[in-house]
Amino acid sequence: MPLHNVAHRMNVVLTTAFMFLLVLVAANWLSHFALRAEPRLAVSVAKVNILTREDFLPRLPDMSRKYQPLRRDVANVSLAISMDLTPLFHWNTKMVFVYAYAEWPSKNNAVNQIVLWDAIAQSADDAVLEFPALGAEYRLSDQGFGLRGKTLNLTVVYNRIPHTGPLEWREYPMPSFTMPADYSQ
Amino acid sequence: MDLKGMVLMEWLTQVILMAATAVAFVAGWVAASFAVAMYVFGAGVLVALAVCTPDWGFYNTAPKTFLEPVSSDEAQFNILDLFPSEAAKTAAEIRVSGGEVPTRYNGSSGKRRKR
Protein backbone atom coordinates (compact mmCIF):
# COMPACT_ATOMS: atom_id res chain seq x y z
CA MET A 1 0.00 0.00 0.00
CA PRO A 2 1.54 3.37 -0.89
CA LEU A 3 2.59 5.68 1.88
CA HIS A 4 0.90 8.85 0.82
CA ASN A 5 -0.80 9.70 4.10
CA VAL A 6 -0.02 9.61 7.79
CA ALA A 7 -2.34 6.71 8.61
CA HIS A 8 -0.64 4.35 6.16
CA ARG A 9 2.79 5.37 7.35
CA MET A 10 1.90 4.83 11.00
CA ASN A 11 0.47 1.42 10.11
CA VAL A 12 3.75 0.41 8.46
CA VAL A 13 5.87 1.63 11.39
CA LEU A 14 3.77 -0.03 14.09
CA THR A 15 3.47 -3.35 12.27
CA THR A 16 7.22 -3.52 11.73
CA ALA A 17 7.73 -2.56 15.37
CA PHE A 18 5.51 -5.42 16.51
CA MET A 19 7.46 -7.91 14.39
CA PHE A 20 10.75 -6.75 15.91
CA LEU A 21 9.17 -6.97 19.36
CA LEU A 22 8.49 -10.65 18.69
CA VAL A 23 12.15 -11.05 17.72
CA LEU A 24 13.21 -9.39 20.99
CA VAL A 25 10.97 -11.64 23.06
CA ALA A 26 12.21 -14.78 21.28
CA ALA A 27 15.82 -13.67 21.86
CA ASN A 28 14.99 -13.20 25.55
CA TRP A 29 13.73 -16.77 25.76
CA LEU A 30 16.66 -18.24 23.85
CA SER A 31 19.16 -16.38 26.02
CA HIS A 32 17.97 -18.20 29.13
CA PHE A 33 19.62 -21.42 27.90
CA ALA A 34 22.94 -19.71 28.53
CA LEU A 35 21.94 -18.33 31.94
CA ARG A 36 20.51 -21.41 33.67
CA ALA A 37 21.98 -22.45 37.03
CA GLU A 38 21.07 -24.84 39.83
CA PRO A 39 19.72 -23.46 43.11
CA ARG A 40 20.41 -24.96 46.53
CA LEU A 41 17.40 -26.27 48.41
CA ALA A 42 17.33 -27.98 51.81
CA VAL A 43 14.18 -28.61 53.82
CA SER A 44 13.77 -31.02 56.71
CA VAL A 45 11.42 -31.48 59.62
CA ALA A 46 12.88 -30.00 62.76
CA LYS A 47 10.18 -31.15 65.16
CA VAL A 48 6.74 -32.68 65.17
CA ASN A 49 5.01 -30.31 67.53
CA ILE A 50 1.61 -31.88 68.08
CA LEU A 51 -0.04 -35.10 66.99
CA THR A 52 -3.67 -35.53 68.02
CA ARG A 53 -6.81 -37.17 66.88
CA GLU A 54 -10.04 -35.45 66.03
CA ASP A 55 -13.08 -37.57 66.66
CA PHE A 56 -16.27 -35.64 67.17
CA LEU A 57 -19.63 -35.10 65.69
CA PRO A 58 -20.47 -31.55 64.68
CA ARG A 59 -23.32 -30.31 66.79
CA LEU A 60 -26.00 -29.57 64.24
CA PRO A 61 -29.73 -30.17 64.22
CA ASP A 62 -29.56 -31.32 60.63
CA MET A 63 -27.43 -34.48 60.37
CA SER A 64 -27.45 -34.43 56.56
CA ARG A 65 -24.84 -36.15 54.49
CA LYS A 66 -22.73 -33.02 54.13
CA TYR A 67 -21.74 -32.92 57.79
CA GLN A 68 -19.93 -36.18 58.33
CA PRO A 69 -18.19 -36.67 61.68
CA LEU A 70 -14.50 -35.75 61.55
CA ARG A 71 -12.38 -38.75 62.38
CA ARG A 72 -8.75 -38.06 61.59
CA ASP A 73 -5.23 -37.67 62.89
CA VAL A 74 -3.87 -34.15 62.75
CA ALA A 75 -0.26 -33.05 63.20
CA ASN A 76 1.58 -29.76 63.35
CA VAL A 77 5.24 -29.76 62.33
CA SER A 78 8.11 -27.27 62.30
CA LEU A 79 10.40 -27.16 59.28
CA ALA A 80 14.10 -26.30 59.08
CA ILE A 81 14.48 -24.43 55.77
CA SER A 82 17.72 -23.37 54.14
CA MET A 83 17.40 -22.23 50.54
CA ASP A 84 19.36 -20.16 48.08
CA LEU A 85 17.30 -19.43 44.97
CA THR A 86 19.43 -16.61 43.52
CA PRO A 87 20.88 -18.74 40.66
CA LEU A 88 17.35 -18.94 39.26
CA PHE A 89 16.96 -15.18 38.90
CA HIS A 90 18.07 -13.73 35.58
CA TRP A 91 16.38 -11.36 33.14
CA ASN A 92 13.88 -13.99 31.98
CA THR A 93 12.57 -14.81 35.48
CA LYS A 94 9.39 -13.21 36.73
CA MET A 95 9.02 -15.03 40.07
CA VAL A 96 9.83 -18.33 41.72
CA PHE A 97 7.27 -20.36 43.65
CA VAL A 98 8.70 -22.97 46.03
CA TYR A 99 6.80 -25.46 48.19
CA ALA A 100 7.41 -28.59 50.25
CA TYR A 101 5.08 -31.57 50.52
CA ALA A 102 4.93 -34.73 52.58
CA GLU A 103 3.94 -38.10 51.16
CA TRP A 104 2.95 -41.39 52.81
CA PRO A 105 0.95 -44.54 52.09
CA SER A 106 -2.07 -45.49 54.14
CA LYS A 107 -4.57 -48.30 54.50
CA ASN A 108 -7.15 -46.83 52.15
CA ASN A 109 -4.93 -44.82 49.79
CA ALA A 110 -1.78 -45.84 47.98
CA VAL A 111 -0.36 -42.31 48.28
CA ASN A 112 -1.33 -39.34 50.41
CA GLN A 113 0.26 -35.96 49.72
CA ILE A 114 -0.04 -32.74 51.69
CA VAL A 115 1.69 -29.43 51.04
CA LEU A 116 3.22 -28.24 54.28
CA TRP A 117 4.68 -24.87 53.30
CA ASP A 118 5.04 -22.58 50.27
CA ALA A 119 6.72 -19.27 49.49
CA ILE A 120 6.96 -16.83 46.60
CA ALA A 121 10.17 -15.01 45.70
CA GLN A 122 9.67 -12.03 43.39
CA SER A 123 13.29 -10.99 42.99
CA ALA A 124 16.78 -12.07 43.89
CA ASP A 125 16.54 -10.07 47.14
CA ASP A 126 13.84 -12.39 48.51
CA ALA A 127 15.58 -15.48 47.25
CA VAL A 128 17.59 -16.50 50.31
CA LEU A 129 15.45 -18.31 52.90
CA GLU A 130 16.97 -19.41 56.21
CA PHE A 131 14.66 -20.64 58.95
CA PRO A 132 15.97 -22.99 61.64
CA ALA A 133 12.48 -23.92 62.86
CA LEU A 134 9.52 -22.44 60.99
CA GLY A 135 6.05 -23.57 61.92
CA ALA A 136 4.48 -25.03 58.81
CA GLU A 137 1.55 -23.12 57.30
CA TYR A 138 -0.63 -26.13 56.72
CA ARG A 139 -1.32 -29.00 59.05
CA LEU A 140 -0.69 -32.63 58.30
CA SER A 141 -3.93 -34.54 58.35
CA ASP A 142 -4.72 -38.11 57.47
CA GLN A 143 -7.96 -39.70 56.29
CA GLY A 144 -8.28 -41.92 59.32
CA PHE A 145 -6.12 -42.61 62.33
CA GLY A 146 -2.95 -43.85 60.66
CA LEU A 147 -0.29 -41.22 61.39
CA ARG A 148 1.20 -42.65 64.58
CA GLY A 149 4.64 -44.04 63.94
CA LYS A 150 4.41 -43.45 60.16
CA THR A 151 7.46 -42.55 58.09
CA LEU A 152 6.76 -39.71 55.70
CA ASN A 153 8.80 -38.63 52.67
CA LEU A 154 9.48 -34.93 52.27
CA THR A 155 9.96 -33.35 48.84
CA VAL A 156 10.65 -29.74 47.92
CA VAL A 157 9.71 -28.34 44.50
CA TYR A 158 10.53 -25.04 42.82
CA ASN A 159 8.45 -23.58 40.04
CA ARG A 160 10.12 -20.80 38.05
CA ILE A 161 7.78 -18.54 36.12
CA PRO A 162 9.58 -16.82 33.23
CA HIS A 163 8.72 -13.71 31.29
CA THR A 164 8.95 -15.67 28.03
CA GLY A 165 8.85 -19.36 27.34
CA PRO A 166 7.53 -22.46 29.10
CA LEU A 167 7.30 -22.90 32.89
CA GLU A 168 10.09 -24.76 34.59
CA TRP A 169 9.79 -26.87 37.72
CA ARG A 170 11.98 -29.43 39.44
CA GLU A 171 11.60 -31.67 42.45
CA TYR A 172 14.24 -32.48 45.03
CA PRO A 173 13.70 -35.34 47.51
CA MET A 174 14.58 -34.46 51.08
CA PRO A 175 15.25 -36.62 54.16
CA SER A 176 12.17 -38.41 55.42
CA PHE A 177 10.86 -38.11 58.97
CA THR A 178 8.91 -40.32 61.37
CA MET A 179 5.87 -39.41 63.40
CA PRO A 180 5.91 -40.10 67.14
CA ALA A 181 4.51 -43.40 68.30
CA ASP A 182 1.66 -41.92 70.33
CA TYR A 183 -0.48 -38.83 70.55
CA SER A 184 1.04 -35.85 72.29
CA GLN A 185 -2.04 -34.82 74.20
CA MET B 1 6.41 12.40 0.04
CA ASP B 2 7.65 11.54 -3.39
CA LEU B 3 8.50 8.05 -4.58
CA LYS B 4 12.15 8.24 -3.54
CA GLY B 5 11.01 9.56 -0.18
CA MET B 6 8.68 6.62 0.32
CA VAL B 7 11.48 4.15 -0.34
CA LEU B 8 13.73 6.05 2.06
CA MET B 9 11.01 6.09 4.73
CA GLU B 10 10.51 2.33 4.55
CA TRP B 11 14.25 1.69 4.74
CA LEU B 12 14.51 4.02 7.73
CA THR B 13 11.76 2.21 9.65
CA GLN B 14 13.52 -1.13 9.20
CA VAL B 15 16.95 0.19 10.20
CA ILE B 16 15.73 2.17 13.22
CA LEU B 17 13.67 -0.72 14.56
CA MET B 18 16.45 -3.27 13.98
CA ALA B 19 18.86 -1.03 15.89
CA ALA B 20 16.27 -0.58 18.64
CA THR B 21 15.90 -4.35 19.00
CA ALA B 22 19.65 -4.89 19.22
CA VAL B 23 20.20 -2.07 21.73
CA ALA B 24 17.22 -3.24 23.80
CA PHE B 25 18.57 -6.80 23.95
CA VAL B 26 22.03 -5.65 25.06
CA ALA B 27 20.61 -3.19 27.59
CA GLY B 28 18.33 -5.84 29.10
CA TRP B 29 21.13 -8.41 29.29
CA VAL B 30 23.51 -5.99 30.98
CA ALA B 31 20.90 -4.66 33.42
CA ALA B 32 19.50 -8.20 34.04
CA SER B 33 15.99 -6.84 33.68
CA PHE B 34 13.43 -7.47 30.97
CA ALA B 35 11.65 -4.24 31.93
CA VAL B 36 14.71 -2.24 30.83
CA ALA B 37 14.69 -4.01 27.47
CA MET B 38 11.02 -3.18 26.94
CA TYR B 39 11.52 0.49 27.85
CA VAL B 40 14.49 0.87 25.49
CA PHE B 41 12.53 -0.81 22.68
CA GLY B 42 9.56 1.50 23.35
CA ALA B 43 11.86 4.49 23.05
CA GLY B 44 13.12 3.10 19.74
CA VAL B 45 9.54 2.76 18.47
CA LEU B 46 8.86 6.39 19.37
CA VAL B 47 11.99 7.48 17.50
CA ALA B 48 10.86 5.50 14.45
CA LEU B 49 7.41 7.09 14.59
CA ALA B 50 8.92 10.57 14.88
CA VAL B 51 11.29 10.10 11.95
CA CYS B 52 9.08 8.16 9.56
CA THR B 53 5.50 9.33 10.04
CA PRO B 54 5.57 13.08 9.33
CA ASP B 55 6.33 14.39 5.86
CA TRP B 56 9.79 15.83 6.46
CA GLY B 57 11.63 17.88 3.83
CA PHE B 58 14.24 15.24 3.07
CA TYR B 59 11.50 12.97 1.75
CA ASN B 60 10.73 15.46 -1.06
CA THR B 61 14.04 15.80 -2.88
CA ALA B 62 12.72 14.65 -6.29
CA PRO B 63 9.16 15.90 -6.52
CA LYS B 64 7.03 14.76 -9.42
CA THR B 65 6.38 17.65 -11.81
CA PHE B 66 3.10 17.81 -13.64
CA LEU B 67 2.23 19.77 -16.77
CA GLU B 68 0.53 23.15 -16.52
CA PRO B 69 -3.24 22.86 -16.48
CA VAL B 70 -4.89 23.84 -19.78
CA SER B 71 -8.43 24.86 -20.63
CA SER B 72 -10.69 22.59 -22.63
CA ASP B 73 -10.45 24.79 -25.71
CA GLU B 74 -6.67 24.45 -25.83
CA ALA B 75 -6.80 20.74 -25.11
CA GLN B 76 -8.13 19.79 -28.55
CA PHE B 77 -5.92 17.59 -30.65
CA ASN B 78 -5.53 17.77 -34.40
CA ILE B 79 -5.78 14.37 -36.04
CA LEU B 80 -3.58 15.49 -38.90
CA ASP B 81 -0.74 16.02 -36.39
CA LEU B 82 -1.33 12.72 -34.69
CA PHE B 83 -1.09 10.61 -37.83
CA PRO B 84 1.22 12.54 -40.17
CA SER B 85 1.99 9.65 -42.53
CA GLU B 86 -1.70 8.94 -43.17
CA ALA B 87 -2.33 12.69 -43.56
CA ALA B 88 0.47 12.93 -46.13
CA LYS B 89 -0.94 10.00 -48.13
CA THR B 90 -4.44 11.51 -48.13
CA ALA B 91 -3.04 14.96 -49.01
CA ALA B 92 -1.24 13.42 -51.99
CA GLU B 93 -4.46 11.80 -53.22
CA ILE B 94 -6.34 15.10 -52.83
CA ARG B 95 -3.65 16.97 -54.79
CA VAL B 96 -3.80 14.37 -57.56
CA SER B 97 -7.56 14.81 -57.79
CA GLY B 98 -7.17 18.59 -57.72
CA GLY B 99 -8.67 19.54 -54.38
CA GLU B 100 -7.60 21.73 -51.48
CA VAL B 101 -5.55 20.17 -48.75
CA PRO B 102 -7.00 21.14 -45.33
CA THR B 103 -4.80 22.02 -42.34
CA ARG B 104 -7.35 20.86 -39.84
CA TYR B 105 -9.84 18.08 -39.93
CA ASN B 106 -13.15 19.81 -39.56
CA GLY B 107 -15.07 16.76 -38.40
CA SER B 108 -14.89 15.70 -34.80
CA SER B 109 -12.47 17.87 -32.94
CA GLY B 110 -11.18 15.56 -30.23
CA LYS B 111 -13.37 16.95 -27.50
CA ARG B 112 -15.66 14.62 -25.69
CA ARG B 113 -19.06 14.74 -27.40
CA LYS B 114 -21.65 16.26 -25.08
CA ARG B 115 -24.54 13.91 -24.51
Distance CA(A18)–CA(A180), nearest Å, equals: 61
Q: Taking residues B48-60, what's their average pLDDT?
A: 90
| Model confidence pLDDT, tens digit, residues B64-74 | 888 877 776 65
Q: Are residues A105 and A174 in the same domain?
A: yes
pLDDT band at B94 (very low <50, low <70, confident <90, very high): confident
ipTM of the complex: 0.73
Taking CB atoms and an 8 Å limit, are B1 and A27 in contact across chains? no
Residue type, B64: K
Closest CB to A16 among B17, B28, B55: B17
Q: Which residues of A touch B50 (CB under 8 A)?
A: none
Q: Are residues A141 and A172 in the same domain?
A: yes
How many residues in chain A? 185
Q: Are residues A8 and A49 in the same domain?
A: no
| Model confidence pLDDT, tens digit, residues A30-89 | 998 888 888 999 988 888 888 888 777 666 666 565 656 678 888 999 999 999 999 999
Q: Are residues A6 and A43 in the same domain?
A: no
- Whole domain around residue A125: which residue ranges? 37-178
Q: Are residues A65 and A119 in the same domain?
A: yes
- The pLDDT value given to residue B84: 86
- The pLDDT value given to residue B65: 83
% of chain A surpassing 90 pLDDT: 51
Q: Which residues of A touch B33 (CB under 8 A)?
A: 91
* Region at B98 (left for phi over 0; alpha for psi -120 to 50; beta for the rest): left
pTM as predicted: 0.70
Q: Which residues pair with A43 in a beta bridge?
A: A81
Q: How many domains are there within chain A?
A: 2
A104 located within any domain:
yes
**Contact yes or no for A100/A153 (Cβ under 8 A):** no
| Model confidence pLDDT, tens digit, residues A5-19 | 899 999 999 999 999
